[in-house]
Amino acid sequence: MTLTAQDLLFYILGGLSLASALGVLLMTNPIYSALCLALTMVSLAGLYASMQAWFVAGVQLIVYAGAVMVLFVMVLMLFDLKSEIKAFSRGAVAGFMKLVAVGLMTGAFLAAIYNSADTLLGTSLAAHVDGTVSTKALAQLLFGKYVFAFEAMGVLLLIIAIGAVALSRIEGGTHADE
């Protein structure tokens, strides 16, 4: 039972991702929320890399921390939002109920994880996975076993691109009849 480098990395990156996720929740200025979310994405990419999922870590950095976050920040800058006065929903009772609901759900998750710890031990781990080999195996999965799902994703992205353009060009916005 020694603290290896990967264990240390887990606690540092995990703590960082939890702290920045709380930042997304608690910051009243949306642009700070977006920056906290970017930090969460980057620390999760570090966690993926520490679990030897090299290609997914790279894609996480490029797609999430890059493209998706740029989309969010760009739209926020378009809106020019200031710090919000009523950032959180009203109602003390409703807020308490929401907290209780999320707490119960998390408790159920943690209890399930705790109780199944013995059956979830997993196989013996390779200390170091060759990135070239694992990326090749991933590509063979994506273009072999999951090739139809992969092509369907391409069609979905095309539909989404057309839909997003059509949506932002509706005459009179989304409330045309008012």
Partner 1 sequence: MPMNSLIDVGLSHYLALSAALFAIGMLGVLMRRNVIVMMMSIELMLNAVNLTFIAFSRFRDNMDGQAMVFFVMTIAAAEAAVGLALAVTIFKRFREVNIRYFEHLKG
| Range 67-96, binding partner 1 (CB under 8 A) | 67-68, 71-72, 75-76, 78-79, 81, 84, 86-89, 95
In angstroms, give the least distance from the CB of 10 to partner 1. 5
With CB under 8 A as the contact rule, the residue among 12, 16, 56, 61 that binds partner 1 is 56
Q: Does 162 bind partner 1 (CB under 8 A)?
A: no
Q: Which two tokens stand for residue 37?
A: 């979310």
62/42 Cα distance (integer angstroms)? 10
What is the SS3 assignment for 127?
A: coil
Contact 129/52 with Cβ under 8 angstroms? yes
With CB under 8 A as the contact rule, the residue among 12, 55, 61, 131 that binds partner 1 is 55
With CB under 8 A as the contact rule, the residue among 77, 96, 100, 125 that binds partner 1 is 125
35-54: burial string, b at 16+ Cβ within 10 Å, e else:
bbbbbbbbbbbbbbbbebbb
In angstroms, give the least distance from the CB of 89 to partner 1. 6
